[in-house]
Amino acid sequence: MKILVAVKRVVDYNVKVRIRSDGTGVDIANVKMSMNPFDEIALEEAVRLKEKGVATEVVAVSCGVAQCQETLRTAMAIGADRAILVESSEDLQPLAVAKLLKAILDKEQAGLVILGKQAIDDDCNQTGQMLAALAGLPQATFASKLELTDGRVLVTREVDGGSQMLSLGLPAVITADLRLNEPRYVTLPNIMKAKKKQLDVFKPQYLGVDVSPRIMTLKVTEPPKRKAGILVPDVATLVSKLRDDGLVV
């Protein structure tokens, strides 16, 4: 079985993002970029399934600018067998990415698609669900445990009230939660091996997908700064302060 894993290039989670002076978006000039952490978890799970002998091939896919090749090389260093980049300079929104992944899925005929539940740059949490809808496949979101057995995938997923177990027929779409696994460290030998692995580059036009933005960002601003807290000596003073601020009656 072939597993398709979508990975996104985002601003590294350790970097404090800055807003452009004109308010049009986040400034990524000279900023460290890395693989979206949730996608890294998805990739780790796919590699583990291959190591168990359940999967035969892991294909990493990314959509975006040419620099996404660096992210895909990292994916191959982690354990992906080959990679595909859909190169575009457009601001790719979730629907456009879902359509591109649908086209790649049709081309590759993968038995399972795993991707992060959301990207840490826009927090949309939409691509996996849109892909499942476009492809007409069963889906399980926020997966914290995954097991393949008898041609089906058993998924334990996080819900508000605790956890839920789903049994899906294959092919299926899975989005990974934080508790699914802990990704491995990339070793230098694997980084060197990744340079020799196959990386194909396509344009959206080749896949027959229109990636024109459908949503316009009017302005991006930083959230207001929080006021500094104060220390109170006792509960009575706390209640009095809350009353003065109109927070309790």
What is the reported pLDDT for 79?
Answer: 96
Nearest to 103 by CA among 199, 170, 202, 198: 202
pLDDT at res. 249: 76
Say what the pLDDT of residue 150 is: 86
Query: How much is the mean pLDDT over the chain?
Result: 94
Q: What is the mean pLDDT of each run of 10 residues along the chain (249 residues)?
A: 96 90 87 95 97 95 96 97 96 95 96 96 94 97 93 92 93 95 94 96 95 90 85 92 85
Q: Quote the pLDDT of residue 30.
A: 87
The pTM of this model reads: 0.86
Largest CA distance in the chain: 69
Q: Would you state the pLDDT for residue 40?
A: 97
- The count of residues in the chain is 249
Q: Is 147 exposed, middle or buried (0-12, 13-18, 19+ CB in 10 A)?
A: middle
Q: Architecture of domain 2-224 in CATH?
A: 3-Layer(aba) Sandwich (3.40)
| DSSP β-bridge partners for residue 115 | 6, 175
Residue 223 is predicted with a pLDDT of 84
pLDDT at 166: 96
User: Domain coordinates of the chain in residue numbers?
Assistant: 2-224
Q: Are 130 and 98 in contact (CB under 8 A)?
A: yes
CA distances from 4 to 39, 43, 150, 235 (A): 12, 9, 20, 56
